[in-house]
Amino acid sequence: MAFDGIVTRAVSHELHHELSSGRITKIYQPTDTELIFTVRKNGQNKQLLVSIHPNYSRVHLTDEKFNNPKEPPMFCMVLRKHLGAGFIESIEQVELERIIHISVRSKDEIGDDKNKKIIIEIMGKHSNVILVDPERDLILDSFKHISSLQNRHRAILPGQPYIEPPEQGKINPLKLDGDNFVKKLDFNQGRMDRQILNTLMGVSPAVTKSLADLAYLGNEETYQNVFNEFKSQLMNHDYQPFITMGQKDDFHVLDLVAEGDDKSYFKSTSEMLNEFYKGKAERDRVKGMSHDLMRYLKNERDKNVRKIKKHEKTLKKAEKADRYQKNGELLTAHMHMVKPGDTSVTVVDYYDPDQKELTIELDPNKTPSQNAQHYFKNYQKLKKSKEVVLVEIDKAKEEIEYFERLIQQLEQAREEDLEDIREELQEQGYFKAKTSNKKKKKKKIQPDYYQATDGTEIVVGRNNKQNEYVTNRLASKEDVWLHTKDIPGSHVIIRSKEPSEETVIEAATIAAFYSKAKLSSSVPVDFTQVKHVRKPNGAKPGYVIYDNQQTVYVTPDEQIVKQLKQDN
122-136: b or e for each residue (b if 16 or more CB lie within 10 Å)?
A: bbeeebbbbbbeeee
3-state SS assignment for residue 491:
coil
DSSP state of 305: H
Cα distance between the two ends of the chain: 31
Q: Which residues pair with 102 in a beta bridge?
A: 91, 118
Phi, psi of 246 (to 5 degrees): -175, -150
Q: State residue 263's pLDDT score.
A: 81
**Cβ atoms of 492 and 522 closer than 8 Å:** no
Q: Which residues pair with 113 in a beta bridge?
A: 107
Which alpha helices (DSSP H) does 357-461 contain, by range?
Answer: 368-411, 415-427
Q: Which residues pair with 404 in a beta bridge?
A: none
Question: Tens-digit pLDDT profile for the chain (568 aa)?
Answer: 578 999 999 999 999 999 999 999 999 999 889 999 999 999 999 999 999 998 899 999 998 888 788 899 999 999 999 999 999 999 999 999 999 999 999 987 777 889 999 999 999 899 999 999 999 999 999 999 999 888 888 999 999 999 999 988 899 999 999 899 999 998 888 889 999 999 999 999 989 998 998 888 788 889 999 999 999 999 999 999 998 866 567 889 998 876 555 788 999 999 999 988 886 767 777 777 788 899 999 999 999 999 999 998 888 877 777 788 888 888 888 888 988 888 998 888 888 777 788 888 899 999 889 998 988 898 888 888 888 888 999 999 999 999 999 999 988 888 778 888 988 998 888 887 666 556 566 678 889 999 999 999 999 999 999 999 999 999 999 999 999 999 999 999 999 999 999 999 999 999 999 999 998 999 999 999 999 999 999 899 999 999 999 999 999 998 899 889 876 5
Q: State residue 247's pLDDT score.
A: 57
Distance of CA 284 to the CA centre of its chain: 5
User: 451: Cβ–Cβ under 8 A, 6 or more apart, which residues?
Assistant: 457, 458, 564, 566
Q: State residue 261's pLDDT score.
A: 57
User: 507: Cβ–Cβ under 8 A, 6 or more apart, which residues?
Assistant: 450, 452, 458, 480, 482, 492, 494, 499, 527
- In angstroms and rounded to an integer, the radius of gyration of the C-alpha atoms of the chain is 35
Q: State residue 288's pLDDT score.
A: 74
67-98: b or e for each residue (b if 16 or more CB lie within 10 Å)?
A: eeeeebbebbebbbebbeebbbeebebbbbbb
Q: State residue 415's pLDDT score.
A: 77
Sign, Cα dihedral of 185, 188, 191, 194: negative
The answer, as to whether pTM is greater than 0.85, is no
Cα–Cα distances in Å, from 223 out to 172, 226, 229, 329?
Answer: 17, 5, 10, 98
Strand segments (E) across 52-185: 58-62, 87-93, 99-107, 113-121, 128-133, 138-142
**Cβ atoms of 494 and 510 closer than 8 Å:** no
Which helix or strand (DSSP H or E) is residue 296 part of?
helix 291-318
Q: What is the largest CA-CA distance in the chain?
A: 117
